[in-house]
Amino acid sequence: MAKPKKQTTKKPTSKKKSPTWFFNTNLHLAFIAILCFVLYANTLTHDYTQDDAIVITDNEYTLKGIAGIPDILRYDTFRGFFKEAGKAQLVSGGRYRPLTLVLFAIEVQLFGQNPFMGHLINILFYALTCMLLYILLLQLLSEQHKPIYAIFVALAATLLFAVHPIHTEAVANIKGRDEIIALLGALATAYFCWKAYKEKNNLSIIWAAIIFFLTLFSKENAITFLGVIPLIYVYFTNENWNISLKYVGPLVLSAIAFVAIRASIIGGGIGEPPLELMNNPYVKVVGNQYVPFDVSERLATIFYTLWKYIQLLFVPHPLTHDYYPRHIGIMSFSNPVALLGLLSHVGLLIYALIRLPKKDVVSFGILYYLGTLFIVSNILFPIGTNMAERLIFMPSVGFCLIIAVLLYRLGRISAKKKQLSVKQLYPVFGILGIVVLLFSIKTIDRNFDWKDNYTLFTTDVDVSVNSAKLQNSVGGELIASATKEKDETKKQAILREAIPHLNKAVEIHPNYKNAYLLLGNAHNYLKEYPKAVSFYEQALRIDPDYRDAIQNLALSYRDNQQFTEAVQQFEQLKTIALDPKSVDENIAFVYEEAGKYYGNQNQHQRALDYFKKAIPYTSDKSKYEYFVGLAYARMNNTTEAIRYMEQALQHTDSEENKGYINRSLGDIYKSIDPAKAQQYYQQAQ
């Protein structure tokens, strides 16, 4: 019998070790943080721009620093900017977002009005948001998926989110901090809810409720996470919907508390949207007045903009900060883009619901995207504008997650394997790297447009040609630039450049009172007073109580030596002015200008009459008593001249003014009492 062969056991070949960098999550977090800083470092030298005026530079409560915090908490977010009740609710429903204003107030307290610090803090918060997004996605995906899948999808989604150029408005504009804090807080809420589930830790759910409560005071759209967090439990655990009651219940209580506080500050409900184009894009002109869109027009316009969001997420060009009417026109479903918007979103919803039982991560990404977008879509209630790139900041997380999963599936198809090794992911890493590089270049380049208002407006007007608001903003910025120009020829050229933009604004929006005001200002600076008057009057036909138009109309009358008309306008302004005393000073100044004008024409009696009229309107009586004394002196009425001069001397505390008055008294006494004249000259010295 043959001796059986000795069997030799073949040693298993050792797998090539996966690269350590792929599994080093701390390295990933460091890279994400550095990437965020590199992307937005060029904003550190930028000025305040766009809506920074509303929340920082022109907000009286923010500028008080810590002392302004009680008023920030007490009023609508816009109250500190408008400085009066009522105007803060120009957008239906009002705005109550005190958390970021409190942060701005603390920032002003510590650093003053320092845009460098504002931009730096935005970058830091953005980096934290991206890092937390990576951590949360990694934990969720690791629950039911292999480590390589979880790490790749979490990292790819986070990198796409971090570099996406559509986020420049939220990060490069300091005011965009409300978007960043809202997402950061919402992600932190989800993180602690997940931690509470995994560790059965009640303290974590308390933290989640506290963070969620504070986050809602940054921006209301964070409330959508009341739907997102139950979806997390359904998609990433083996639990059913019931588990969400335990972990989401405290968040509901936080939301109820927020809604109650908000209602006590600015009232409950949403209210009727205003019939004013700059605060409600869903109105049109019919019979020389604005009426609401019909239902079909409104829905078609909404779904047109929703498709534009998808388009910009895939191809973020061209970007603009302004989507106001009529950059987005009046649409109907005969427009193929509007119809595509409707069909695509219905299709996405159906696909997500069909794939929900399979716990498909793409399905989760779709529902997250649609859910967080819905609240700012204008479907539920008008938000004051057709669309804005900052509004896609929170929903874009869903988009980035979907693309990351699809990239992994692409790698799986190309490798013809269900599970991939790190090496087999290199081709899709290459695709991801190209996209990250291109998006990064676009982001850094787009940041330069946010340098200041002038750069932003004059750049984006080439994109938003039909935006009445942006055409108006460009005109206003050019006028502001012209007022700083010392060269008269250049000044006039800048003013002439502003006028076509403002004409375009009123062509788009015939009832745009601010555009008429600025047209009046441009012509006033050009000393074309009749044209200025006509534009101010047009603004007042739209709004008879438009204070800026009344005041500027009065100033144009004054500059055109129409002094009676100027005073009439100031007297009208006085009845509605926030500060009637300042109007009185303006009236006194008109009388002063009138007195000087007629005095230079040797009409001394008329000059005298105007100087006397000024006295009751001013707190600086000495000034006008002095002018009256000069007028009497020129009329050779020395008695009255001396009387008014001596009154002026008694009513002033300024040593400089006393010098002028004593010198004038010396001149008057020179011909009638030389000795006394010498005394006044000595006192003047």
Q: What confidence category does residue 388 fall into, taking pLDDT thresholds of 50, 70 and 90?
A: very high
| Phi and psi angles of residue 290, each rounded to the nearest 5 degrees, phi first | -85, 135
Those residues with Cβ within 8 angstroms of residue 3's Cβ, 6 or more apart along the chain or in another chain: none
Q: Distances in Å between the alpha carbon of 32 and those of 83, 118, 131, 635?
A: 41, 21, 6, 81
| Tokens of residue 264, six digits | 């006590």
Backbone torsions φ then ψ of 250, nearest 5 degrees: -60, -30
Flag whether pLDDT at 11 surpasses 50.
no
**pLDDT confidence of residue 350:** 98
Specify the pLDDT at position 92: 59
Please return the burial class of 536, using the count of CB atoms within 10 Å of its CB with bins 0-12, 13-18 and 19+. Answer: buried
Residue 393: alpha-carbon gap to chain centroid: 14
pLDDT at position 85 is 62
pLDDT, mean of residues 51-59: 96
- What pLDDT does 91 receive? 61
Q: By three-state DSSP, how is residue 611 classified?
A: helix
List, in sequence order, every beta strand (DSSP E) within 267-322.
283-286, 289-292
Say if residue 146's pLDDT is above 80: yes
For position 271, what pLDDT does the model report?
64
At 245 the pLDDT is 80
Residue 53 DSSP one-character state? I
* Residue 357 reports pLDDT greater than 60: yes
Both structure tokens of 375: 């609240």
Q: What pLDDT shows up at residue 121? A: 98
In sequence order, the β-bridge partners of residue 285 are: 290
Could you identify the residue written with the tokens 């022109």?
Answer: 58
Provide the 8-state DSSP code for 5: P
Predicted confidence (pLDDT) per residue in 407-418, tens digit: 999 999 988 887
Task: Quote the distance between the C-alpha of residue 207 and its chain's center.
Answer: 30
Q: pLDDT per residue over 286-329, tens digit each?
A: 877 889 999 999 999 999 999 999 999 999 999 999 999 999 99
pLDDT digits (tens, 9 = 90+) for 168-187: 999 999 999 999 999 999 99
Per-residue model confidence (pLDDT) at position 642: 93
Q: How far apart are the C-alpha atoms of 413 and 410, rounded to whole Å?
A: 5
pLDDT at 269 (0 to 100): 67
Looking up tokens 């900060």, which residue turns up? 321
Burial class (CB in 10 A: 0-12, 13-18, 19+), 330: middle
Q: Which residues contact 354 (CB under 8 A, 6 or more apart)?
A: 363
| Residue 566 in tokens | 């100027």
Measured CA to CA, the distance from residue 452 to residue 454 in angstroms comes to 6
Specify the 3-state DSSP secondary structure of 284.
Answer: strand
Instruction: Pull the structure tokens for residue 111.
Output: 């650093």
Q: What one-character DSSP code corresponds to residue 75?
A: S
Residues 178/51, Cβ–Cβ less than 8 Å? no
Which of 145, 69, 146 has its CA nearest to residue 108?
69
81-105 pLDDT per residue, tens: 988 765 555 565 578 999 999 999 9
Report how far residue 587's alpha carbon sits from residue 619's, in angstroms, rounded to the nearest whole number.
Answer: 12
Reported for 271-274, long-range contacts at CB under 8 A and 24+ positions apart, including other chains, are: 271/89, 271/92, 271/93, 271/94, 272/92, 273/92, 273/381, 273/382, 274/90, 274/91, 274/92
**Per-residue b or e along 126-140, where b marks 16 or more CB atoms closer than 10 Å to that residue's CB:** bbbbbbbbbbbbbbb
Across all residues in the chain, what is the average pLDDT? 93
Of 629, 615, 627, 625, nearest to 652 by C-alpha is 625
**pLDDT tens string 607-646:** 999 999 999 999 989 999 999 999 999 999 999 999 999 9
Quick check: 200 and 473 in contact, CB under 8 A? Answer: no
Can you tell me the mean pLDDT for 469-498? 97
Mean pLDDT of 257-273: 85
Query: Per DSSP, what are the bridge partners of residue 286?
Result: 289
Tell me what pLDDT residue 671 has.
84
